């Protein structure tokens, strides 16, 4: 009981300071290392609720600490992470976060002790790398080199450690297995199908149609005006309400695909997560249905929820790179893009032990510059050819309709795991396709099939 009261007292005190930071002026909000602060605030409340229900939820303690650090409350984050280690000294992510925060505060001896203590619990190459950075900054090149070599023993293809050793005068080559095969651009976006029953083109950027109704409401789909979109046919006035597809209708659509058994596969992909609630629900569904998928994670969110990425990797899913803060790669410089992507790759590798070579440009914004940048790093650019538009309308029946009108054998389907709609329609979708002999594969598997063909 004393333990519970202690943690709740810490959270109450921290929440007061965090609420003040959250309600500050827009310039202060820009300090959040997130591309969508309101979502972050919602998740903060859910994390707080999780800790109230279970004060020993060390993953939630770690995540809240990261949120505080991003809000500029580094001492509060340190306080939480130290408390987390009393809850579970084997939760390895705490050592990286706490050690890095102490180093940032100039408390280097404490940071060194934290990193070394973490290595006593786990041979984490990520901790070895961070300890190497500390030793290098402290002017201990031999100790730094030893740490970077230990890091590479755990992950031979970890480019940051290779670069650090090169700066120290060591000649370490990237393993040849890292660059096997030619980088590919997969998938090509095609607009959702327009029918006489409903309009599938995106309406206006502010989420409202010309009549002023929200895109997600019934009014947006019934008797709405029809503006002309350049380069697209004019929309017809919508005179009938949306009619959901029955399971029988979905089965008929799938049966109409002329595909050999070997070609009956679908790649499900999820963007913008991880989300501390919806991503877990989707992972539960995929596990129950025996399906695998690919998650294109935003680096700042991945760092906040390392336990979710660990689970993704353990359950056989692919993890791809969606930049650190949902950066538009086509509008920003190559150096900004590479910095954002590399930072995200380092976090993915540090959490999962796997190096990432899959990239999905946020917003689907790509051009020759983006392709050249990605392929020059040996990374695959992954787009999609079936768009659920689950961000626009979260009705599961609508999402099912959109997917079924654009999907086909070998499709790469785009969902988002920061919205609830996909999780509500996925079980039925997966079962319908499995009934016709389809399997659900990762993008890495799709690349192997594409290369083999």
Catalytic residues: 271, 416
User: For the range 132-140, what are the long-range contacts, defined as Cβ-Cβ under 8 Å and sequence gap of 24 or more?
Assistant: 132/161, 132/164, 133/164, 134/99, 134/103, 134/108, 136/164, 136/168, 137/103, 137/108, 138/108
**Cα(106)–Cα(229) distance, integer angstroms:** 56
The radius of gyration computed from the CA coordinates of the chain, to the nearest angstrom, equals 24
Greatest extent of the chain over all pairs of C-alpha atoms, in Å: 74
User: CB-based contacts of 178: which residues, under 8 Å, 6+ apart?
Assistant: 157, 355, 357, 378
Burial (0-12, 13-18, 19+ Cβ within 10 Å), 176: exposed
Q: Transcribe 111-138 into DSSP letters.
A: HHHHHHHHHHH---HHHHHHHHHHHHHT
Helices of type H across 88-217: 93-104, 108-121, 125-137, 141-154, 159-167
Whether 171 and 186 have beta carbons less than 8 Å apart is answered as no
The secondary element (H helix, E strand) that includes residue 387 is: strand 386-387
């Amino acid at each position: 009981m004393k333990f519970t009261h202690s943690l709740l007292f810490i959270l109450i005190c921290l929440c007061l300071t965090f609420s003040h930071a959250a309600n500050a002026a827009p310039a202060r909000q820009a300090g959040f290392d997130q591309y969508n602060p309101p979502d972050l605030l919602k998740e903060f409340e859910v994390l707080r609720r999780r800790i109230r229900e279970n004060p020993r939820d060390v993953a939630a303690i770690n995540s809240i600490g990261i949120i505080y650090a991003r809000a500029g409350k580094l001492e509060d984050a340190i306080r939480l992470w130290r408390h987390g280690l009393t809850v579970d000294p084997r939760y390895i992510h705490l050592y990286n976060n706490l050690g890095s925060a102490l180093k940032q505060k100039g408390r280097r001896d404490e940071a060194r002790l934290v990193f070394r203590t973490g290595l006593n619990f786990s041979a984490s190459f990520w901790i070895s790398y961070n300890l190497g950075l500390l030793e290098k900054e402290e002017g201990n090149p031999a100790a730094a080199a030893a740490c970077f070599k230990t890091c590479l023993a755990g992950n031979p293809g970890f480019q940051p450690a290779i670069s650090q050793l090169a700066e120290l005068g060591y000649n370490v080559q990237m393993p040849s297995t890292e660059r096997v095969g030619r980088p590919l651009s997969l998938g090509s976006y095609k607009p959702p199908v327009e029918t006489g029953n409903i309009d599938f083109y995106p309406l206006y950027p502010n989420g409202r149609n010309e009549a002023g109704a929200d895109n997600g409401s019934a009014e947006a789909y019934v008797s709405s005006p029809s503006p002309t979109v350049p380069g697209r046919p004019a929309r017809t006035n919508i005179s009938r309400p949306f009619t959901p597809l029955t399971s029988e209708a979905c089965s008929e659509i799938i049966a109409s695909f002329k595909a050999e058994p070997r070609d009956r596969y679908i790649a499900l992909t999820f963007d913008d997560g991880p989300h501390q609630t919806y991503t877990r629900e989707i992972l539960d569904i995929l596990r129950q249905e025996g399906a695998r998928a690919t998650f294109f994670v935003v680096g700042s969110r991945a760092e906040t929820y390392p336990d979710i990425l660990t689970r993704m990797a353990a359950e056989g899913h692919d993890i791809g790179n969606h930049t650190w803060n949902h950066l538009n790669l086509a509008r920003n410089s190559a150096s900004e893009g590479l910095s954002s992507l590399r930072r995200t790759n380092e976090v993915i590798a540090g959490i999962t032990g796997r190096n990432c070579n899959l990239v999905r440009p946020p917003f689907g914004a790509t051009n020759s510059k983006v392709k050249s940048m990605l392929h020059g790093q040996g990374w695959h650019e992954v787009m999609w050819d079936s768009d659920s538009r689950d961000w626009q309308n979260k009705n599961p029946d609508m999402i099912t309709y959109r997917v079924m009108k654009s999907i086909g054998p070998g499709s790469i389907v785009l969902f988002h795991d920061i919205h609830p709609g996909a999780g509500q329609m996925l079980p039925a979708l997966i079962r319908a396709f499995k009934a016709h002999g389809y399997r659900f594969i990762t993008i890495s598997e799709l690349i192997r099939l594409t290369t083999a063909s």
